[in-house]
Amino acid sequence: MSNSTRSISSCRQRLVSRLRKGLALLLVLVGFGPGLSGMLMAAAASEISGELDVIIKEDFDHNHFETDYFLRDDNGVDWYPLQFERMPPAHLRSGQRITVKGRSMGGRFRVESLQEEAPLRGKKQDPDKEAFTYEPSGLAAAETVDTRRAVVILVDLTNAKTSSYTSPSQVAGHMFTNTRSVDGLYREASWGQMRFLADTDGDGSPDVFGPYTINYDNSTCSYYNWATAAEAAAEAAGVDLSLYRHRVFVLPRTAELPACSWAGIANVGCGTFCRAWIAGQTGMIYAHELGHNLGMAHAGTDPENDSVINNVYGDYSDPMRTSSSSWYVFNAAHSDQMGWYANVPGTISTVVAGGTFNLAAIGLDPASVHGAPFMLKVAKPDSNDFYYLSYRQPIGQYNQLSSTYTRGVNIHRYRGTGYSATTHIRTLVDGETFVDSVNGIAFTQLSQGSGHASVQVSFGCVTAAPALSISPTTLALRASETARFSVNVTNQDMSGCNERTIALEYAGGNVNGWLSPAELTLSASQSGSSALAVDTQLAEGHYPLTVHAAGMEGPAFSGQDGAMLIIDNTPPSVPAGLSASVNRQGRVTLSWQAASDALSGVADYPVYRDGALIGHAASNGFSDSATEAGASYEYTVSARDAAGNTSALSSPVLVVISINGNGNGNGNGGGRK
């Protein structure tokens, strides 16, 4: 290439660069934010590199959350909302460097392919020298415990103000200075290993700034734009944001943000810096959203232990549940994830063999518990999870825990590392056993009190009471009719146990009954059934029946279930007040007064037209559209109870369908004798 050609090419490149910069500046000057200007400039681009923002949006009221993805350009100014053509990788976390290829569509960058750059290992991300670790497996590990430097910025919109529900001093109290605060919560939960510093800039006051009014209203939920505008306003007011890794934005409350459905938003994980958005009043919302910054997922419930979370915010023993006005520290699983207990020898016991263990209540001084662990960790091989056993009591400043969790040993499940929900399975009481029959694991609470709980951990064969159910639960018959019930029995022994014979015993008082068979030989987790026949040569009345099931080998555990037999020979009362109306289409609508039955109750109402049964009504009304113009019909109704007794017919009502579709009906409302 000649020198003149190189010169022309160089001039063209400089001209294009100046035009792009000029257009970007113009977009900012006319009111578009730097993010949107970057988005418009990226319309022709096919590849962008930068730092990822993964943001979780919390709708606590409806137990629902959503995830948004943004990419902050390496130029430090532009940002791009990302839209994935396919489900994005589940392991993506804030702070991870990625390169995306795609195109701009509708204000978003549509990602067609994504490349993850090398994990950041040991790279210092902020002035605190805190390390962000990204695991090769794709799981963002809990960050290094350390001093956290957070700034709080109050943000007012043009038509919605934070002053309607809070003030800078109240926010400072929630975060730093109240008797119970976010800083105090993390200090107590971590035994002093983590804190949120109140005065990073050293001016003698908590680092809470604003409110700053930004040029946005509440007609849209542009929370990312709000954050960038608020940061610009804070920096213009002299706030040095480079001092802080956590940026917390306090917004007008949720009720004043009609386009938003959340009370809190946060980065999942933390890169160069991370954000949290607060639109609620309680301090625990701050603790919850900052928990996401630190890599913690939600605290849910799974009482069936089937790996299906019933309520993603349902574990009320952990700040990562739904928003709350009560203060309490984190559950055992989250405490282990954060590494707080690993730094104190003897506080975690990983159990690999059965035995009896003494648990100290979380919150006690480790020096006072004489070597007792605060949590037991037991592998759950079938799902590669861990069970966490812990004992909670109202100890310390953050002690506003529901009594549901203080009555005994709490069982949680968690994968043991990374961003994944913890689930509360059960809180035991003395003598209660939790059984995982698939893995041959059982936990039995032996005792609790005075800051300690005793729990037995068993592996292999653990026997349990058989489960028993009778169907139907209620059976109504006339005397001398055949009464049969089905009895279903499940052997609830763990998978490591041999089969055993379960004996069934009938107890029905004055009612004779027979079980066939009376014994069932079942393997662990296997179910079987028996038939129960009872004598119905009885007077009218209600007769409770019970069946017991007990193992004939091993411990004398037993289970039972009951059913109700009703003998009813008396029909219901006769329906009264039968009346009819006809609409223009010739549809006949019948209504009557409800009948009564003292023993088994009214089951339904047979309806007759000209003496022929045309249907059954569950309540005291019925419609008949199978009519012809010019015809007349006589309707009657009876009542039938659950035992099959049927009353006499009601007095009839005569209906005439006119040629034009109108009609009339009349009846005396009485009953036939």
Interior angle at CA 113, CA 107 and CA 118, nearest 5: 110
Of residues 565 and 106, the one with the higher pLDDT is 565
Read off the pLDDT band of 553 (50, 70, 90). low
Q: Tell whether the model's pLDDT for residue 174 goes beyond 90.
A: yes
Greatest C-alpha distance within the chain: 120
pLDDT of the residue at 66? 87
| 8 Å CB contact between 487 and 504 | yes
Query: What tokens were used for 16?
Result: 């294009």
> Do 467-567 and 576-667 fold alike per CATH?
yes
In this structure, are residues 206 and 244 in contact, taking their beta carbons and an 8 Å threshold? no
Q: Give 84-152 as a DSSP string.
A: ESSPPPTT--TT-EEEEEEEEETTEEEEEEEEEPPPP-S-B-STT-PBP-B-TTS-BPPPPP-EEEEEE
How high is the pLDDT of residue 664?
59
% of the chain residues with pLDDT over 70: 86
- The pLDDT assigned to 18 comes to 43
pTM: 0.68
Residue 458: both structure tokens together = 């068993």
- pLDDT tops 90 at residue 265: yes
Domain boundaries defined on the chain = 1-30, 147-295, 300-459, 467-567, 576-667
Lowest mean pLDDT among 100-104, 289-293, 347-351: 100-104
Please, are residues 548 and 507 in contact by the beta-carbon 8 Å criterion?
Answer: yes
What is 467-567's CATH topology?
Immunoglobulin-like (2.60.40)
Task: Give whole-number Cα distances, 248 to 167, 174, 618, in Å.
Answer: 14, 12, 59
pLDDT band of residue 557 (cuts 50, 70, 90) is low
Distance, in Å, from the CA atom of 337 to the CA atom of 295, rounded to the nearest integer, reads 9
CA 297: distance to chain centroid?
Answer: 12
Lowest mean pLDDT among 2-16, 230-244, 305-319, 349-363: 2-16
Instruction: Give pLDDT, residue 206.
Output: 98
Average pLDDT of the residues in 171-190: 97
State the chain's mean pLDDT as an integer: 87
Give how far Cα 144 sits from Cα of 82, 108, 344, 666, Å.
Answer: 29, 34, 15, 85
- The answer to whether residue 40 scores a pLDDT higher than 50 is no
**pLDDT tens digits for 488-501?**
999 988 877 889 99
If you average pLDDT over residues 152-178, what whole number do you get?
A: 97
Query: Model confidence over 603-636: pLDDT tens digits?
Result: 999 999 999 999 999 999 999 999 999 999 999 9
Q: What's the confidence (pLDDT) of residue 367?
A: 87
Grade residue 555 by pLDDT with cuts at 50, 70 and 90. low
262's CB contacts (< 8 A; 6+ apart) are 57, 58, 59, 60, 254, 279
CA–CA gap between residue 198 and residue 204 (Å, rounded): 9
Q: What is the mean pLDDT of residues 298-312?
A: 95
Above 50 in pLDDT, residue 33? no
pLDDT over 70 at 237, yes or no = yes
| pLDDT tens, position by position, 127-155 | 443 433 323 333 334 444 479 999 999 99
Structure confidence at residue 108 (pLDDT):
85
Asked whether the beta carbons of 530 and 520 are under 8 A apart, the reply is yes
Class (C level, CATH) for 576-667: mainly beta
pLDDT at 602: 98
* Residues sharing a CB contact under 8 Å with residue 106, sequence separation 6 or more, in sequence order: none
What pLDDT was estimated at residue 87? 84
